[in-house]
Amino acid sequence: MRTDDARPPTPEPGTGATGAAEIHADGVRCTRDGHIARVTIDRPHVLNAVDPAAHARLREIWAGIEADPDVRAVVLTGAGQRSFCTGADMSAGAVAASGLEYWAGLDPDGFGALALRTTLDVPVIARVNGYALGGGMELVLGCDIVIAAEHASFGLTEPRVGRIPLDGGVAQLLRRLPHTQAMGMLLTGRRAPAAEMHRIGLVNEVAAEGELDAAVDRWTADVLACAPTSLRAIKQMARASAGLSPREAHALRTPALVAALDSEDAVEGVRAFREKRAPRWPGR
């Protein structure tokens, strides 16, 4: 959810990666680059805040990726250089809704249909190029790997305008960070710089100015170097084992785990190791 506190005083110029004239009607672009799906919230004129049309498009995109076994990694970002996402677009009508009305209409998969999603087994990398506030922070919490520009900032700022981060913020932050670190953010609504988020473990890497894409490409290449079936199994196991003891987690038999153990990827991995070459993953 986005709040007035989350919006910086100067609006983002309408110059996304494809230019203002090419912004899609629903405000979200999804492009394919080999086995990589690149998802861009393209509404820089409102700092990539998400309106109902953009939310609906994001839900369609995640469902499409889930149905496409050829997608092996996802990079999620915002257009421009100032904002990843600043949450729900309050100018799109959400500001008129009461807190109870907003709560009643929440997507069960969380903000952007991603923050609480439990069916997306493909690794998702957040390319945080600026403000990740309110719902934007919740989108980050729905990703697996977080790479941030050094000028990026993070925060669940809803309490500062009398709202609550209900779209995954409270639930996910308490699972991602130590209790005092999470509560320190939740109970102040403050913004935190990328360096601090890296120090406390929410961000994998902070990239210097001009080096964000190189850092994301490096992490993406490392993901693609792994067997897709193995990564799907790991994501399912990580999700299903939350809250379980190590022995209970060890006993899990998820569908993706069984498939990975009996996959062509498993055969190719051993063969490539023996032949001293890079594997060519079939992805099945």
What distance in Å separates the CA atoms of residue 82 and residue 49, rounded to the nearest whole number? 12
Residue type at 96?
A
Report whether 154 contacts 197 (CB < 8 A). yes
How far is 80 from 17, CA to CA, in rounded Å?
A: 6
* Type of residue numbered 140: V
Q: d(Cα 17, Cα 282) in Å, to the nearest integer?
A: 32
158 is catalytic: yes
User: Among this protein's residues, is 138 annotated catalytic?
Assistant: yes
CA dist., res. 219 & res. 205, Å (int): 10
Which tokens in the block code for residue 141? 């919490």
Structure tokens given for 196:
């601090």
Exactly one of 101, 158, 248, 268 is catalytic; which is it? 158
With contact defined as beta carbons under 8 Å apart, do 207 and 149 qualify? Answer: yes
Residue 106 phi, psi dihedral angles, 5° rounding: -65, 145
Query: Exactly one of 12, 22, 66, 138 is catalytic; which is it?
Result: 138
Q: Which residues are catalytic?
A: 138, 158
